[in-house]
Amino acid sequence: FWLEMTENTVTFEQTSRSGNEHNRFSAFSIGSPVCFKIRSDGDPCVVNVGEGCILKLNTVTSIRNCTYICPFLFSSESDGIEPHEVCFLEGMQTVTNVGLTIAGPRNFHLHVGSVQDHHGEVWIVNVFGFVDKSACSTTEISLPAQKINDTSVKKRKALTQLDESKQKLIPETKVKDSENADSSNQRKSRKKLSKQKQRELEEVLAEGRTQAESRGEILDATDEDASKEFSNKPAISERRLDGGVIVKDIIIGGGPLVKHGRKVSILYEGKLEDGTVFDKKQNKRSPFQFRQGTGQVIKGLERGLEGMRSGGERIIKVPPKLGYGSKGAGPVPKNATLTFSIYLMSVGGSTRYT
């Protein structure tokens, strides 16, 4: 059921495998909000982004309370992108700031987990977004979308103006006598202009730093000081945190600090007590990303990551009550103690495909 792309239009279509429903099809034009339902018991949802428009998906909501964790996946055969985990859903959960942006013309698939190994449970999710007008003819996929900030443009302009004003103040070693006879008023005017441009540059730099700190993309003052303090220290011994989580630092990183609300990118391997690997993510090109403290991962993992710095490696041992508890999940049995080997790639930033 591959659809022909229509200019300035985004279409969604999914075929049910159960035979109880007809094909679901929706079309959205530029300027329209997007809302489409996707089921895990249907074929992958085919999305066609027509030429001249951009699809921005920002929210995914599950409307059925299933007992296992389900991934929301993105893939594109034409771009060679294998199924990529955009986010995870658990129970009746809403995930915001999904940040999936696709410029047309392009075909891709959206998937919602699988029912083969989960006792027939069916996930149903609603996907929300917006169709915008494309500003250029090139196509791109961005996961998550990176907003263009004009602060960097202002910064470059201010630096250029400051450099030009300083060049006017550099004396020439060989000039004519007439050129050395500038009046004092002219020299004062140039100095005043230079100071004014310097102030403008400082204001632009301060504004850019404030905006970047609000997004968690750069170190704040305390992070910088602490980074110098810890970057050369050896790993410390094993220690116990509140709730029974045990952490052991293998390498202490020197980058930004994991804090509540910050976006983190990690590589990990999860094992049971008998050494069985129940989950892992080791591809540096597509690390596992989530926002700390928002409940996108189990509580024990969030608690174990708190205070870690990018570039660091840590072993986190999670007790059952802060893991999957008495119910378990998928390959994780009930009342299982979990051990995670974590490498923290970055704090802030994004993964981007072009």
Place of tokens 């992108």: 81
* Residue 99 neighbours by CB under 8 Å, 6+ apart: 58, 142, 143, 144, 145, 350
Q: Is the overall model pTM greater than 0.75, yes or no?
A: no
Q: Which residues pair with 60 in a beta bridge?
A: 95, 127
pLDDT at 335: 92
DSSP state of 273: T
Query: What residue ranges in 40-144 does DSSP mark as E strands?
Result: 45-49, 53-62, 69-76, 81-90, 94-95, 100-103, 106-112, 124-133, 141-143
Per-position pLDDT tens, the chain of length 354: 334 446 778 888 877 765 555 567 788 888 889 888 888 877 888 888 888 888 888 888 887 766 667 788 888 887 778 887 788 777 778 888 888 888 878 888 888 875 444 556 777 888 899 898 876 544 456 555 433 344 444 555 565 666 666 555 555 444 455 555 556 777 777 777 778 777 877 777 777 666 666 655 444 444 444 444 444 444 557 889 988 999 999 988 888 999 988 999 999 999 999 999 999 998 888 999 999 999 999 999 999 999 899 999 999 999 999 999 998 888 999 999 999 999 999 998 543 333
**Contact predicate 144/99, CB 8 Å:** yes
Q: What pLDDT, on a 0 to 100 scale, did the predictor assign at position 67?
A: 66
| H/E segment holding residue 157 | helix 151-169
CA distance linking residue 130 with residue 147, whole number of Å: 15
Asked whether the beta carbons of 83 and 111 are under 8 A apart, the reply is yes
What pLDDT sits at residue 273?
92
Cα 286–chain centre separation: 11
pLDDT at 12: 83
